[in-house]
Amino acid sequence: MTRPSLADITQRAEDATEGPWEADGRTVNQCVGQWAEVVSTEVSCGSYCYGGTGRGVESASDAEFIAHARTDVPALSAAIRDVLALHSPVYRPFPPICDRCRQAFPCDTYTAITAHIDTTPKENDRD
């Protein structure tokens, strides 16, 4: 399997409907600015309301974004975890310093990541 391209991931995010989105059962809605359906479960009636066609994902760019999320998100998550593992604190001597870049902890790299993502582990995380 090839690695996802950061440029492609960025482009897909820029092309998709602006977020945040919210899942509501099997429907996904845009929750910022003007409310809009991103993924609809609404069925358009066929002739004489016999059968019908589900609308599904409302735009092709959102479908691309959703389809690639299954590989993009794990890849981005792994990259972030790997970088954070490199930039972990060493507590001796005190105050703590970054094991990688030797700056005071949190270092610039750790701060740049945590400015965008909460990296607090779940209660049951062993990492």
Residues in contact with Zn ion by CB under 5 A are: 87, 98, 100-101, 107, 109
Smallest distance from Zn ion to CB 105, Å: 7
Between 28 and 98, CB nearer to Zn ion: 98
Between 65 and 105, CB nearer to Zn ion: 105
CA dist 119 and 122 (Å) reads 9
CA dist 126 and 97 (Å) reads 22
Please choose, from the candidates 3, 19, 2, the residue with its C-alpha nearest in 3D space to the C-alpha of residue 62: 19
Smallest distance from Zn ion to CB 65, Å: 32
Within 8 A by CB and 6+ apart from 102, the residues are none
Between 76 and 84, CB nearer to Zn ion: 84
